[in-house]
Amino acid sequence: MSNTGTEMMPFNNIFNEWYAAQTSKKIRAVWQMKAASGKRVSSTVPYGYMKSPEDKEKWIIDEEAAEVVRKIFSLALAGRGIAQIARQLEQEKILIPTAYKIEKGLSTTHKYPENPYYWDSSTVAGIIDNRQYTGCTVNFKTTTVSYKVHKVIHKSEDEQQIIPNTQDAIITENLWLRVQELRQHKRRPTSTGRTSLFSGLVYCPDCGAKLHFAAAKSITRQQEHFRCSNYKSGRGECQIHFIRDIVLERIVYEAISNLADFVRCYEPVFLYLMATKNQTARKSELQKLKTKVESGKRRISELDVIISRIYEDNILGKLSDDRYSRMASMYENEQRELIETISKSEQELEKAEQQNIDMRLLLKTLRELTDFRELTPTIVNSLIQRIEVHNNDKYDGHCHVKVDIYFTAVGMIDIPDEKEILDIINKIQENPQMYKVG
């Protein structure tokens, strides 16, 4: 190599590194602009969907695979663990996603597996974690350290962009959220190998801790119980909040049974009670969110035009590089903040829209409990959001315990007496269209 070539090497290295950094920056900017316009950044299509033949940007449901996705969420809702679900899918000879895609002629970079029915726990967990099955798009789930260090970093939910209603949903938002909650409530087997139907759902209303489920070989089924996890033989931070599992089972059974009977007999009254719950305040809040989203999207469009103009001015020499860099950075920061604000507002609006769907699912489940004889994990996990057990009160020579049951989508419900029901029926007759599930 000539002396001139050797002397130029440091400059070439600097230029190459600068070029790589600029290319990486431009690619990220393109992703940001694409996301700002409400489009998905990733080209990977999750198992259960496929690209539309008419529009490659659009996902449509692959019904055969979608049924497997629904089955996985159904099993998770019934209290099955990730490994248990994986074993069941393998036993039922259900093709894993890679094998399924290859057999269906769908695009995949993987080879056909030796065992096409071996479901790895990470595959099942990946499906359960994927929020896009609710019909939304999730952008920026991961990033890398830099253009030189390609280590993948998983972003927190607050840093992700969630765009609602970008494709048909395979499962509901409520089901996805419920399953995520259940995964956090790890039900560790006791020495008897048994867990309660309510493990992970029972809380102390005083300190907020979960109630610990106690079961051992030295005690009978009738003696298995819950107590506050912050209570330690009277020396802990909280009182005992004791309740036997069989007693709690009876209380929850009666609450669900009574609510199911009430809904079957007086469904319009139930809908009236739900519709009037914080109705005025909620409507005002939703209207503010809609206005914020609309004005934010308008401003993003304006910023796109402004950034384009100052870029042209810079190319034509009307704007210095330094001035352009500062202005572009300022406008891009404003865009990023708007994108984040819009994303959060749209999530709130999506939850509000989901409320009607959740209500319909709740009503559907309650209507189907016509011959309701015992609780099952699916019934409990579908209908119950949270249970709070107050500390025991002793009077009349007996222990009395107050239990608050929070139902999915509606919270606590006080069933009205006969007079209150008649009053509500009269109000409904005055405006029957107002109290229906949309």
Q: How far apart are the first and last CA of the chain?
A: 77
Residue entry with tokens 């009666």: 254
8 A C-beta contact, residue 310 and residue 324: yes
Order the strands of the 403-407 sheet from edge to edge.
202-203, 384-389, 403-407
Closest CA to 378 of 369, 387, 391, 389: 369
Cα 59 to Cα 167: distance, rounded to the nearest angstrom: 6
Cα 229 to Cα 213: distance, rounded to the nearest angstrom: 9
Cα 412 to Cα 277: distance, rounded to the nearest angstrom: 11
Closest CA to 48 of 176, 180, 170: 170
| Residue 127, helix vs strand vs coil | helix
Cα 124 to Cα 96: distance, rounded to the nearest angstrom: 10
| Residue 75, helix vs strand vs coil | helix
Residue ranges covered by each domain of the chain = 189-278+364-434
pLDDT at 145: 42
Residues 6 or more apart whose Cβ sits within 8 Å of residue 212: 226, 227, 228, 229
Residues 6 or more apart whose Cβ sits within 8 Å of residue 239: 206, 228, 231, 391
8 A C-beta contact, residue 199 and residue 225: no
Quote the DSSP letter at residue 60: E
8 A C-beta contact, residue 195 and residue 165: no
Distance (Å) of CA 271 to CA 30, 174, 204, 350, 363? 47, 19, 30, 21, 10
Cα 270 to Cα 301: distance, rounded to the nearest angstrom: 44
Distance (Å) of CA 360 to CA 26, 179, 248, 267, 333? 46, 18, 27, 12, 41
Residue entry with tokens 């089972």: 249
8 A C-beta contact, residue 387 and residue 252: yes
Give the model confidence (pLDDT) of 6-32 as tens digits. Answer: 555 555 555 555 555 555 555 555 545
Closest CA to 163 of 57, 50, 27, 72: 57
Quote the DSSP letter at residue 112: P
pLDDT at 387: 95
Structure tokens at 310: 């100052």
pLDDT at 158: 62
pLDDT at 281: 52
pLDDT at 49: 95
Residues of the chain scoring pLDDT < 50:
31, 143-150, 152, 438
Residues in the chain: 438
pLDDT at 41: 63
The pTM of the full predicted model, rounded to 2 decimals, is: 0.60
pLDDT at 50: 93
Structure tokens at 153: 């970093």
pLDDT at 350: 72
Closest CA to 403 of 245, 191, 231: 245
Residues 6 or more apart whose Cβ sits within 8 Å of residue 82: 121, 124, 125, 128
